[in-house]
Chains A and B, each alone.
Chain A
Amino acid sequence: MSVNEYDAIVVGSGISGGWAAKELSERGLKVLMLERGRNIEHIKDYKNAHKEAWDYPHHDVPTQQMKLDYPVLRRDYPLNESTFGMWANEKDAPYTEDKRFDWYRGYHVGGRSLLWGRQSYRFNEQDFLANAQEGIAVDWPIRYEDLAPWYDYVERFAGISGSSEGLDVLPDGQFQPPIPLNCVEKDVAARIKKAFAGTRHLIHSRCANITEPKPEQGRTNCQYRAKCWLGCPFGGYFSTQSATLPAALKTGNLTLRPFSVVSRVLYDKDKKRATGVEVIDAETNQVIEYKSKLVFLNASAFNSTWLLMNSATDVWEGGLGSSSGELGHNVMDHHFRVGASADVEGYLDKYTFGRRPAGFYIPRYRNWHKDKRDYLRGFGYQGSASRQGWQKDIREMGIGAELKAGLSEPGHWGIGMSAFGEILPYHDNRIYLNHQVKDKWGLPVLAMNVEIKQNELAMRKDMQADAMEMFEAAGLKNVKGYDSDYAPGMGIHEMGTARMGRDAKSSVLNKHNQVWDAPNVFVTDGACMTSASCVNPSLTYMALTARAAAFAVEELKRGNL
């Protein structure tokens, strides 16, 4: 084998890329993992992990210069001093918007596994059936049973904390003990259960922060610092750096190459197989070819699709996987920023200790069992209860010693929750190559044309009204609903654009995540999703990736690839 030849190439090092690298290298393949951005070494490179607000020049507030430099990031919360440099630079890597699309990208080793919300839920049986039953898009080529053992497998390794609830809407998994609910959340849970006769459930969130150590991975349990996005020196949550990368490196089979912008999948049209990838060194602009038997695309949903669109264009104008007419289409995200808040009376002899990485979850109940709404699918809620800190209503306190004393004690308890709703896969929600605009390396950029439609807008009414209804039914005071508007992308759950399906005419990938037109190319990140469910998707990418990697190695051994 020459230096530029491997058994498998994994493009991307985030949540799914890390899993691909781990599974393939543990099965004995020589693997090259390519990452377009810089390296971030576990612990050593978490430069802000021990900093406090007062250690930043502006106490973590973004400057106007940062806002000028990051016109997309500044649209929402991710722009600040503590995570600065962790989100992709919009000048080096631009994109264009036919309609507003907020694209938050992590271009570094570990990708968004260092920047994720860590909520980890399984899709349910119905999630895989709904498209076919309702005549939406195309049928998933797999069912819950196909993925269940892989959910078990990735949950055990990643470490998911949560409680088993026996709910068909949210299948139980292999959990570590849950992150505790606080006294108010427990009481509100009991009141909601009673008020809705056991049809709605406020439960522990299921989260990739571990509550028991994993010494075999060198990981300590979550320390409740709430600094996950600064990189956790304890390995308290699942990331590429804390979990999959060390496992892959331990095999001696993995080569990690940062600063590697993959520009094309190399394609042999006679053999109908990929032969490797073309890389532009992000620092030197040198173009290098790497050869391999397998290619796994885990570059994040849109970038995996971008790569397909930019590959084999001599065979298909629209790129590899475009023969179905679906490449780039059916963009999904989760729509949110709608819910309610309320005041909670009492519990003034109780407070909290520690800063949790996650609060409570209320799984979907709409369009479930006998419930029937004027829209399809559903939503779940994430929320938490807490006592007010210094940022409370201070109208009555004036200024001076009285104000200081007033602000230095906690206020009353409050509770809030935000709904996360499913977006249907619409063919006309799409991304495509914009050749008029080039990135720093002279490559065409993506154009975004995505919107939410009637189904989502109708759902949002319930998302707000139901939150208010539940808080009122629980006897809470000053219940306020809100809808702070949602623009596609804000959920940072991009899905679709290279969907799985049952035939090559209507889907890009088959049931094993293989590109129909190049079976040794696997796409196992968010691009592959046929529908979105309303639960956070990363756990499903992990399971799909582990499943596809196992299959790929078997197929390779059988000589089918």
Chain B
Amino acid sequence: MERRELLKMIAAATGAAFIGNPLALAAESAQRPGTGFSADDMQLLNEIAETIIPRTDSPGAKDANIGQLMTRLVSDCYLPGEQALFRQGMQKLNEAALNQFGKAFLLLEQKHKHSLLSELNDEAYRYNKQNKVRHWELGRPGGTPDEDKALPHYFTLFKQLTLFGFFTSKPGATQVLRYVAVPGRYDGEFPYKKGDKAWAT
């Protein structure tokens, strides 16, 4: 999303621009070279990711800066069609926020962020089922040029990138899941009790 548009939305919603000082704003809004994403985009993506995987008693998506990773994966690993859908998705998600709550997504209260994305999540399942898109949310991000694969609902892209990015990040893999770099042995009957974490890999 264009920063100017966002600022307009923020202004419309709150009556004031409030993020940072003007100099910082100028620096932030400069696009990350080559990615085509602005610092604002990353903030939006971090908020989306955090709503999908929130900080609880353990780190959440924002702690792992999943917004930044998402922009990198989209820019470098997505096919043009996936990239376009992702960008449309950012816009549509904000439009949905405006329609439902009269505010840009970033300005929503946490419970409204959650309810909006929960609805989109359900919508995505329905859409994917109708269009026979299978398990995209668990796949490795990025299609292959000569593969003819149906694209999922845009929200599925956010979810895929969030889950993949978070559970392969250090906080996700080592604090939310478990990871031992050098196990040194294999135990095929390792005791487990409900509540014990899953291994990251």
Q: Is the CB of A59 within 8 A of B121?
A: no
Q: Is the CB of A183 within 8 A of B159?
A: no
Known: A390-B198, A394-B137, A408-B197. A399 touches B76 (CB 8 A): no
Q: Is the CB of A399 within 8 A of B121?
A: yes
A287 at the interface (CB under 8 A from B): no
Known: A60-B168, A350-B189, A356-B186. A387 touches B198 (CB 8 A): yes
Q: Is the CB of B181 within 8 A of A52?
A: yes
Q: Is the CB of A409 within 8 A of B140?
A: no
A167 at the interface (CB under 8 A from B): no
Distance in angstroms from A51 CB to nearest chain B CB is 10
Chain A: interface secondary structure? loop
Stretch at the interface among B37-45, B46-54, B93-101: B46-54
Q: Is the CB of B169 within 8 A of A224?
A: no
Known: A57-B72, A58-B77, A399-B117. A353 touches B187 (CB 8 A): yes
Q: Is the CB of A353 within 8 A of B145?
A: no
Q: Is the CB of A404 within 8 A of B56?
A: yes
A54-B65 Cα distance, complex, nearest whole Å: 12
Contact among B77, B180, B192 for A64, CB-based, below 8 A = B77
Contact with A along B50-65 (1 / 0, CB 8 A): 0111101010100000
Q: Is the CB of A59 within 8 A of B165?
A: yes
Contacts of A61 in B (CB 8 A): 73, 77, 140-142, 164
Distance in angstroms from B21 CB to nearest chain A CB is 31
Contacts of A353 in B (CB 8 A): 180, 183, 185-187, 190
A353-B179 Cα distance, complex, nearest whole Å: 10
Interface centre among B69, B76, B125, B198, by most chain A C-beta atoms within 10 angstroms, is B198
Q: Is the CB of B168 within 8 A of A224?
A: no
Q: Is the CB of A401 within 8 A of B183?
A: no
Known: A353-B187, A410-B198. A404 touches B72 (CB 8 A): no
The number of chain A residues with a CB under 8 A from chain B is 57
B22 at the interface (CB under 8 A from A): no
Contact among A64, A225, A351, A389 for B191, CB-based, below 8 A = A351
Contacts of A68 in B (CB 8 A): 145
Contact with B along A153-171 (1 / 0, CB 8 A): 0000000000000000000
Contacts of A217 in B (CB 8 A): none
Interface centre among A61, A388, A392, A398, by most chain B C-beta atoms within 10 angstroms, is A61
Q: Is the CB of A54 within 8 A of B201?
A: no
Top 9 A-B pairs, shortest CB-CB distance: A182-B188, A354-B183, A351-B192, A354-B186, A353-B187, A53-B168, A410-B198, A353-B190, A59-B168
Kindly list 19 other residue pairs between chains A and B, CB separation below 8 angstroms, not including A389-B201, A400-B118. A52-B181, A57-B72, A58-B77, A59-B164, A59-B168, A61-B164, A63-B76, A180-B187, A182-B189, A183-B189, A224-B185, A352-B186, A352-B199, A354-B186, A394-B137, A395-B125, A404-B56, A408-B197, A411-B198
Could you show 10 A-B contacts with beta carbons less than 8 Å apart?
Answer: A53-B201, A62-B77, A180-B186, A225-B182, A350-B190, A351-B190, A354-B183, A354-B187, A390-B177, A411-B198
Which residues of chain B have a CB within 8 Å of any CB of chain A?
A: 51-54, 56, 58, 60, 69, 72-73, 76-79, 114, 117-118, 121, 125, 137-138, 140-142, 144-145, 159, 163-165, 167-170, 173, 176-177, 179-201
Which residues of chain A have a CB within 8 Å of any CB of chain B?
A: 50, 52-54, 57-65, 67-68, 74-75, 179-183, 185-186, 223-226, 348-356, 387-392, 394-395, 398-401, 403-405, 407-411
